[in-house]
Amino acid sequence: MKRRVIAVVLCLSMVLGLISGCGKKNTKDETVTKEKQETKTETETSDMEESAFVEPSIENVESLERPSIGSNIENSLYEENIVPSVPEYSVDISFSNVINAEDCVLGEYVADAYREKLAKNLFVVGESSGFEFWEQYEFNAYSQTPNFVTVDSLMHTYHLYFAHLLKTIEKASLSDAVKTISSTMFNKSMEQYDEFKGTEWEEAAVRNVAYFAVACELSGVDISVPDFAIDTVNSELDHIMSANGIELSNIIPDTMEDYSQYKPRGYYEGDEQLEKYFRTMMWYGRITFIAGNDSATRSAVLMSIALKESAISEWESVYAVTSFFAGASDDLGYCEYMPVIEAAYGGKLDKDSLVGNESAWGILEEKISEMDPPRIQSIPVYEDEENVIPGFRLMGQRFTIDGNIMQNLIYRAVDENAEGNKRMLPMVLDVPAALGSDVAKEIALENGAKEYPDYETNLNRLREDINSSSDSLWNASLYSGWINTLRPLLVEKGDGYPSFMKNSEWTKKTLETFAGSFAELKHDTVLYSKQPMAEMGGGDLDPVDDRGYVEPEPLVYARFSNLAKTTSEGLKKFGMLSSDDEKNLGLLVELSDKLLVIAQKELKNELPSDEEFELIRNYGGNIEHFWYDAMKDDAGKDSFTSEEFPAAIIVDVATDPNGLVLEAGTGSPRTIAVVVPVDGILRIAMGSVYDYYEFEWPLSNRLTDNEWRRMVGAESGLGFLYEKDDSIVNPDWTTSYREEKWHWEW
């Protein structure tokens, strides 16, 4: 009977443990799905063990001063016990108590449904506001429309700078370091082949030569591939460059590899240097030398010895910086294998010690078998195999809390439904649901999750684990800090908050903010984060009162400030921050701190100062500055437009190896109109918010940004703008607060 491949979820990157070098790897936390563990043999644990950065203990590693992410709140401006005190307010369909209604919603071409939703919910998400977030705010400045400063626009600005910084470091430093690792390790592997030829270690040495030859070819290192490895190397390169899907790998016996993962995506697409780096790091991050396979384990042993003797400094430099951004590896690697190798062989690692030493080999195998397996599975496996396969990876992809959440909410962690269908792909809303959002949980259940046994049980256990975790869970990397910054959005707002925030539609809108920013985070870390995979089976206008409003989420701004500050301090300690970027990150901290103070005043029903209202008024110019500085290197010129660098992005976040991936993306930002109180007077303020999309897509054609931007009409070419594909629609749960503003009669 033909075995059916079941999906494996590749989780995205987050550091829970080490930022660099070697230290104690996180151990399993078996509290999630504990009841299922008693009746099943599969590994179905949450593994959300709290941990902190650990100094490296590798010999011959140049010491670095490791940056810490810091605590959740390190902001003296944040007032922890504010009592929201905004008086209740409402409007009717005539908007008679709204001072700028005539200009904003009472024109004859404004759609009735748009007015109705605005009157009922006190906000409405409308049409596209341009290619970038700052454009709506600049338009507001010219038309003297009050600004509504959104969390969406601020988080998008951080995404732009996060991607800019990571990309700059990859091009200036990391790509050369990876080439050096590849070249050095290939040469060292050739030496090992000559040394161990004719012994039981020969097959492993041959495999390592082929493995690093592939890496050299991918990264652009000029080598001569030996005849004994040429067929394997060419086969792997063909699979990688075609990136068609899941096929049998020639590197590791009897294992499948998802070669669709090697298609350059995110900001790597179209840049030759970055595309080479992407494929090489994907190779180092995904290929697993499986524990329990003698030949593969010997490859891991020889590779660990070669790394220690010749390239550990370069390996450490790459791992340290990428871990600061994206998190610690979810896989076993050098840090776990090298100590037990040395212990088993008594510290002597030459040919005489290794060959024929069955006693030491037995000790080594036993020690490896006791190591914790990865928490997120990324190797396609069959239904009758173990769900999670342990093994050695040179630069393993990273553990993330969202990936761990998704892994515990798909097959095999949840069983098939009554019809025999399996939940092969998660919803992005699984993440905020596990982080505490009851509305996200309700939407997920209504969209079919309740049909799968153990979904709700696992979700509730995830919630318990997360709620009982310490701050170290969120302080492990910039990635985890980003997620933590978004968490306050999931708290439903009650008495004393502005009236527009106290209805179910606003609660859903904030879920779209979470999902849109989450998509940008996944996009920026697509190379490093491990995806969950199921198992296979202005002008001369009269002066008006255009005082605006800041979305009152002070805890978000406090955490954002800390995140931006940590980004700057950490990269400065690594010696990888230019003076211009340091200045801009400082300005981003300053901006978020000012928004924090304004938001707190709004909640206390205090009037911001004239200077603070001026900041709100000029908000568009502020975030345009960050956009410009983040894009100017790519533009290669002083003058460029948002049409050339639009906000829309796409990323695949989970894999069903039966042929599908879950894509999450954003289109061009949309306008949001909100009725807000300023000095006791209601007005309509306008801002920009995410336009979020989520859908299943063929695994063999993981989407790139350019492909996606054509699909959503955010890409121009040959003097025209692509039209949006009408089949691309927003998730159903986002439609109830959306409405196109204009109604044209022809």
Q: How confident is the model at residue 64 (pLDDT cuts 50, 70, 90)?
A: very low
Average pLDDT over residues 72-92: 89
Does the pLDDT of residue 745 top 80, yes or no? no
Q: Is the pLDDT of residue 701 over 90?
A: yes
pLDDT of residue 374: 87
Q: What is the pLDDT of residue 387?
A: 57
CA-nearest of 709, 613, 616 to 665 is 709
Burial 216-236 (b: 16+ CB within 10 A, else e): bbbbebebebeeebeebbbbb
Look at residue 46 in the predicted model and tell me its pLDDT: 35
pLDDT digits (tens, 9 = 90+) for 276-300: 999 999 999 999 999 999 999 999 9
53/612 Cα distance (integer angstroms): 38
**pLDDT score, position 55:** 26
- Residue 48 pLDDT greater than 60, yes or no: no
Least confident residue range of 53-57, 331-335, 503-507: 53-57
User: Of 113-117, 207-211, 405-409, 718-722, where does mean pLDDT reach its minimum?
Assistant: 718-722
pLDDT at residue 510, as a whole number: 98
In this predicted structure, the answer to whether residue 519 has a pLDDT above a threshold of 60 is yes
Can you tell me the mean pLDDT for 613-641? 96
Q: What is the mean pLDDT of the chain?
A: 88
Residue-wise pLDDT for 574-611, tens only, equals 999 999 999 999 999 999 999 999 999 999 999 999 99
- Give the alpha-carbon dihedral of 129, 134, 139, 142, to 10 degrees: 180
- Region 28-55 average pLDDT: 33
What's the pLDDT at 32? 35
- Report DSSP state, residue 201: T
Average pLDDT of span 535-542: 54
**Percent over 90 (pLDDT), the chain:** 81
* DSSP symbols for 371-420: SPPPSS--S-EETTS-SS--EE-TTPPBP-HHHHHHHTTSTTTS---TTS
- Which positions ≥6 away from 176 have C-beta within 8 Å? none
Q: Average pLDDT for residues 477-496, to the nearest whole number?
A: 97
CA dist., res. 219 & res. 227, Å (int): 20
pLDDT tier for residue 21 given thresholds of 50, 70 and 90:
low
Rounded Cα distance, 373 and 329, in Å? 12
Q: In which band, very low, low, confident or very high, does the pLDDT at 31 lie, cut at 50, 70 and 90?
A: very low
Q: Which regions of 177-277 does DSSP assign to beta strands (E)? A: 246-248, 256-258
Question: How confident is residue 10, by pLDDT bands cut at 50, 70 and 90?
Answer: very low
What is the rounded distance in angstroms from the CA atom of residue 326 to the CA atom of residue 266?
Answer: 15
The SS3 call for residue 529 is strand
Give the model's confidence band at 347: pLDDT under 50 very low, under 70 low, under 90 confident, else very high.
confident
Is 37 a residue whose pLDDT tops 50? no
Tokens of 722: 């692509």
Average pLDDT over residues 494-501: 97
Q: Residue 218 corresponds to which tokens in the numbers above?
A: 């991918």
What does R_g of the chain's alpha carbons equal in angstroms? 27
Query: How much is the pLDDT for 520?
Result: 98
Output the pLDDT for position 288.
Answer: 94
Q: Which helix (H) or strand (E) holds 5?
A: strand 5-6
Q: How would residue 52 be classed by pLDDT, with cut points 50, 70 and 90? A: very low
